[in-house]
Amino acid sequence: MKKILIAGCTGKMGLEAVKTILKTNDFRLYSCLGNKNYINEDIGNLIGKGNIGITITNNLEKSLEDIDIVLDLTNVDAGYNIIIKSLKKNIPVVSGSTGFNKKQLDEFKSLSEEKKISCYIIPNFSIGVVLMTKFAKEAGKFFENVEIIEYHHENKKDYPSGTAIKTAEMLAENSKTYNHGRPEEIAKIENCRGGNYFNINIHSIRMPGFIATQEVLFGSIGEVLTIKHQTINREAFMSGILFCLRKAINDNNFVYGMDNII
């Protein structure tokens, strides 16, 4: 069994991942890095299992000791530090943190290649989301106008989502300029049209009741095509997490997006 560190274990995704790993036969939950408010708490108490002998720490250096693989489910700032330190210690890492810029992604890629250690940066672990982005890229070959709307819970700090950014990047691979020929816009209130990435407007909603939803809207004369994916609960991400962990442990490549390994 491979010994795994889950970073971000006290978050909603992290707690779901803890429950999932405890059910597997090929990974052993060995260390948990979490919120400072839970230091020295047994992680089992947070998932209703009682004491399981694994206490939560916020000491990254110590939590990396004797680890076979790292699952990072934190945020862009903590995730950057976790990924860099893991790779420098020759530990493969799978990260679901979002918001990394191109410079950071290039740094991960360079270090992964230098160390010959796998580094998977996965903006979304849902198989359905991977299919949505692939379908959107294909549809983008036939439409000239497209916008993206992404919805997340109110506690998600970064926007737009990593999935929305990845979708826009995949659309841009079609080597065409979208949404050209629009008339000069008049903004009565600034930023109401969302952000602009590769000339594609991205709109971010943060509101209670959502987990993660994305719509990609294509418009043409007399028709609108909507490609939509909705996450009902966080269990939807667990099969993707296990898929990436099992692939990364036997790999030595840099991967950005689960679409590149499915």
Active-site annotation holder among 152, 203, 229, 247: 152
Q: How far apart are CA 76 and CA 22, in angstroms?
A: 26
In this structure, are residues 45 and 66 in contact, taking their beta carbons and an 8 Å threshold?
Answer: no
For residue 261, count CB atoms less than 10 angstroms from its CB and return exposed for 0-12, middle for 13-18, buried for 19 or more: middle
Which member of 85, 103, 156, 247 is catalytic? 156
Question: Is 156 one of the catalytic residues?
Answer: yes
Question: How large is the C-alpha radius of gyration of the chain?
Answer: 20
- Please give the single-letter amino acid code of residue 156: K
Is 152 an active-site residue?
A: yes
Cβ burial of 220 (10 Å; 0-12, 13-18, 19+) is exposed
Secondary structure of 95-134 as H, E, C letters: ECCCCCCHHHHHHHHHHHHHHCCCEEECCCCCHHHHHHHH
Q: Which residues are catalytic?
A: 152, 156
